[in-house]
Copies of this chain bind each other. A is one copy, B any other.
């Protein structure tokens, strides 16, 4: 340990340049030399200094992973998948959280600090200000967004409007007319379109079915279970309450289910509930949900980032691949939705 490239060179009787080439598997090194060098390096326990290598080559073998939350289900799943995929290729993940609690007025993220430290950036659905987005762009690094698509960068996501429409149409097809919506806070959106897209899908499906939702059927759930609980209570307290609820995330749906249980409202007989995500616990709870391939989105994002790095090496920020991948979702019917009981035969 602590051996430097020069020690290896000396011990192997070659120059440091040759050691460098041999160890990195570059061409123009005789097989004999390569083996000799490898042996010596192993004996000495030589591990190249990534810092020095980065400084000299401009390559960092590191990808920034920017996430507004890491303790929420969706984000933790994606982070795990991205990290794992990066590691398989010898890349590291530099975890960058946003200043919390989130305050739209403040700068939560300084893209400049990433310059020279990473080869690419993966951004998880995050409410960045325009200024922050510009900052990311100005780094000139391959950038891939997960859960949102942004001009000038790659992206991996689901069709949020479609997801919401699918969920809502499912409820409509079961005969429901009064369908509540539990979503995010419209105030806090910025470039984070998921909440508004899912709301739009709900509204579109309702309108397409000739239904005009009562404004009171729309409640903020904050994308947390606790928020879903509050939202569910509000919905159930309505004079003429909805017979079904579309929650824009499974975690919020859990909250709605809890609210129903607390209020003595039977699910699905008196209230159908559908979520979005495919949360690990959905199956346990028997929640009907529109599942999205979360881990796969993370892996894809990492692959896009790596491909873009590979394609440009240290090259100038120029024509970068701008793929926009939309992965398919899947409606999984379970026990929390059922046909609306008619007024009796």
Kindly report which residue of chain B lies nearest to residue A65, judged by CB atoms.
B95
Are B60 and A69 in contact (CB-based, < 8 A)? no
Q: Out of B60, B79, B99, name the residue touching A51 (CB < 8 Å).
A: B60
Q: How many residues of A contact B (CB 8 A)?
A: 53
CB–CB B116/A51 < 8 A: yes
A window 258-314: CB within 8 A of B: 258, 280-281, 283-285, 295
* Interface-facing stretch out of A29-37, A42-50, A198-206, A207-215: A42-50
Q: Does A77 contact B (CB under 8 A)?
A: yes
Indicate if A191 sits at the interface (CB-CB under 8 A). no
Q: Is A164 an interface residue (CB 8 A)?
A: no
- In the complex the two chains form, is B284's CB within 8 Å of A225's CB? yes
Known contacts A70-B76, A83-B97, A94-B92; A47 and B115 CB within 8 A of each other: yes
Q: Which of B45, B97, B99, B115 meets A112, CB within 8 Å?
A: B45
Contact in complex: A70, B83 (CB < 8 Å): yes
- Residue of A50, A70, A100 with most partner-chain B CB within 10 A: A70
A59 to chain B, nearest CB (A): 11
In the complex the two chains form, what is the Cα distance from A229 to B47 in whole Å? 45
Taken residue by residue from 250 to 262, chain A's Cβ proximity to chain B (1 for < 8 Å, 0 otherwise) reads as 0000110110000
Residues of chain A touching chain B, judged by Cβ–Cβ distance below 8 Å, are 1, 45, 47, 49-52, 54-55, 60, 62, 65, 69-72, 75-77, 79-81, 83-84, 87, 92-97, 99-100, 112-113, 115-117, 138, 224-226, 229, 254-255, 257-258, 280-281, 283-285, 295
Q: With A69-B80, A71-B80, A71-B295 given, can you name 9 additional A-B contacts, CB distance below 8 Å? A: A49-B115, A50-B117, A55-B55, A76-B76, A84-B97, A92-B94, A225-B284, A226-B284, A257-B284
Which 10 residue pairs are nearest across A and B when measured between Cβ atoms?
A76-B76, A71-B80, A70-B80, A258-B284, A93-B95, A95-B95, A83-B97, A47-B112, A51-B54, A51-B55
